[in-house]
Amino acid sequence: MLEADMSCNRENVIWKRRDGTWGRGFFDFYQTGEDHEWDVEYDYSAFNWASVGHPTQEAANAAWTGANPSGSTTYEEPSEETDRFDSLAEKFLADKKALLRSR
Closest C-alpha to 47, from 72, 18, 77: 72
Q: Which tens digit of pLDDT belongs to each residue from 85-95? A: 999 999 999 99
Residue 7 lies in a domain: no
Q: Report phi then psi at 95, rounded to 5.
A: -65, -40
Residue 6 lies in a domain: no
Residue 54 lies in a domain: yes
Residue 69 lies in a domain: yes
Say what the pLDDT of residue 5 is: 53
* Overall number of domains in the chain: 1
Residue 65 lies in a domain: yes
Residue 2 lies in a domain: no
Determine the structural domain holding residue 35 and report its residue range.
Answer: 12-102
Q: Which tens digit of pLDDT belongs to each residue from 13-62? A: 999 999 999 999 999 999 999 998 899 999 999 999 999 999 999 999 99
